[in-house]
Amino acid sequence: MEDWEKRNFLDRQNQEISRQNDLLEEKNRLAKEQNEALRQSNLDAKWREEQYRREQREIEDIKRIERFEKDMDDRIYKLKLDIAKTKDETIRYALQGILDEEIQKRNKYYQEREAHQLEKRRQVRRYKTISLIKNIIFTVLGLTILFAILTVYLSSSNNDSARESFGTKLAMSGTVKKDIDEDSNLSTSVSSKTNKEVRHSIKQENEKSSSLVSERLQVDVTADDISIRESASLSAKVVGVCPKGVYTIVETTSGDGYTWGRLKSGKGWIALDSTEKMNSESITEGSDTSAEWERPYHNYYVASSSSTLMMAGFKLESNGKVTLYRSGAEILLANSGNPVEGRYTIESYNSTEQVTSFEITQRTIVNGDIPNTKKILPNVIIRIYVSAEELQKAGESVSEEHNLIYYGYYSYLGQHILTDGNSSATPQVFFQVGE
């Protein structure tokens, strides 16, 4: 009897110990889960804090860049005002030199920013291409393995029951394969066409990049001041900038990881990665010409730096509008918000006859001796019409409208130059100061 009670006591004691151990294990498990939850919560909080700091740094960088660009524009604008106000020729010349340096710095800054943006877009495209290739490789590999299993099984199966069993397994494999394809965003039907599509795409890309393609297309330049280069390469010399607008591309090629297009004007090549191809029905011939030549023009040669002709010229604007400020009266009218305005048209120059212009050797107005003249082959013809009523606003006693013709071409410095082509006397030549 005593032995039985002793065994019973020991059993209850062992059960109590086991229960205590279970409670301790449960307590440890709960503590571990709480610690893991706390650790995960700390990681999430740290990630959110890092994300917030990253966003704040990006915002600060954007604000810093905006302030820097605004400071550049403000300095250039102030220098232009100081040049317009000063009457001292020495001070004006010094300010003009400073203005040229500031404009060159700004152009260099925008060119470097454009190259950086192009490199970022190139990296994104490279990442997408690598991801696509990986998906294609995994898909082809899966199909190859499935085909090998099918071949081995059919060669070892000689009875209907084996084929029925294989049919069941094949259905299950198809289900698994479909799930895998859904996870990788590739369906079985797309996978069966992938090889042909990839081979066709690679063939087209190789044909496109292997040689120069002669085609005629029109693109919309949406970025600010895209660089125009002598050839289709990032290492080629920059001959100018391409403002926003619609342009005609006559040849395309690939180089340095970019697609390049040659402008119809013949000025050079631009990277088409920063443009949008336009539908032929939404554009008209010559629209690239209008957009490219829309800018202010001043006299290239003025005999005296104190003459009001230093500020004279005209401005070609969008929608075929031209604003004149050839004389002091017209300049005052323009500054008072009542400018002398006219209309203009632009068309391609299709003749082989050359016209007269000055030898363009600098980006600022020439004073003193008359520059040498030379013969040039224009790119465009610009016809300006101004009514007699508009001219009378500036105090001119005229009864007939003015019809002016200028020939547009590019200097070796990449500038947009306009000349009246007068070969019997001194030609009247206009350009954009500082371009």
Same domain, 174 and 236: no
Same domain, 258 and 377: no
In a domain, 88, yes or no: no
CB 401 within 8 A of CB 385: yes
| DSSP-H helix ranges across 86-187 | 89-156, 160-183
Same domain, 250 and 199: no
Same domain, 233 and 276: yes
Which of 206, 224, 258 lies at the terminal end of a domain, its last residue? 206
In a domain, 119, yes or no: no
| Domain span holding position 360 | 294-431
CB 352 within 8 A of CB 376: no
Q: What is the pTM of this model?
A: 0.38
In a domain, 421, yes or no: yes
The candidate with the shortest Cα–Cα distance to 365, out of 408, 307, 427, is 307
What confidence score (pLDDT) does residue 361 get?
Answer: 87
Which of 166, 190, 206 lies at the terminal end of a domain, its last residue? 206
In a domain, 87, yes or no: no
In a domain, 43, yes or no: yes
Per-residue tens of pLDDT for the chain, all 435 residues = 567 777 888 888 888 898 999 999 999 999 999 999 999 999 999 999 999 998 998 899 888 888 888 898 898 888 888 888 888 888 888 888 898 888 998 899 889 988 988 998 899 999 999 999 999 999 999 999 999 998 888 877 655 554 555 455 444 545 444 444 544 444 444 344 444 454 444 445 444 443 444 456 778 787 777 888 999 988 999 888 887 777 778 888 888 888 888 887 778 889 888 788 764 433 333 344 567 888 899 989 888 877 777 778 899 987 789 998 877 778 777 777 788 899 998 988 888 888 999 999 888 888 888 899 998 889 899 999 888 888 888 777 777 788 899 999 988 777 899 999 987 778 999 998 877
Same domain, 258 and 143: no
Same domain, 338 and 223: no
The candidate with the shortest Cα–Cα distance to 255, out of 276, 277, 273, is 273
Same domain, 416 and 335: yes
In a domain, 118, yes or no: no
Calpha distance 369→264 (Å, rounded): 36
Return the CATH number at 262: 2.30.30.170
Same domain, 225 and 197: no
Calpha distance 401→282 (Å, rounded): 34
Q: Which residue has the tokens 């500082």?
A: 434
Same domain, 148 and 163: yes
Same domain, 310 and 387: yes
Which of 188, 206, 224 lies at the terminal end of a domain, its last residue? 206
- What digits encode the pLDDT tens for the residues 284-303? 333 445 678 888 999 898 88
Same domain, 353 and 409: yes
The first and second tokens of residue 146, run together, are 């499935």
In a domain, 117, yes or no: no
- What digits encode the pLDDT tens for the residues 183-205? 444 444 434 444 445 444 444 54
Total domain count for the chain? 4
Residue 240 has phi, psi (to 5 degrees) of 165, -175
In a domain, 8, yes or no: yes
Residues present in the chain in total: 435
Any long-range contacts for 257-260 (C-beta under 8 Å, 24+ apart)?
A: 257/122, 258/118, 258/122, 258/234, 260/232, 260/233
Calpha distance 170→166 (Å, rounded): 6
Residue 377 has phi, psi (to 5 degrees) of -105, 110
Same domain, 321 and 422: yes
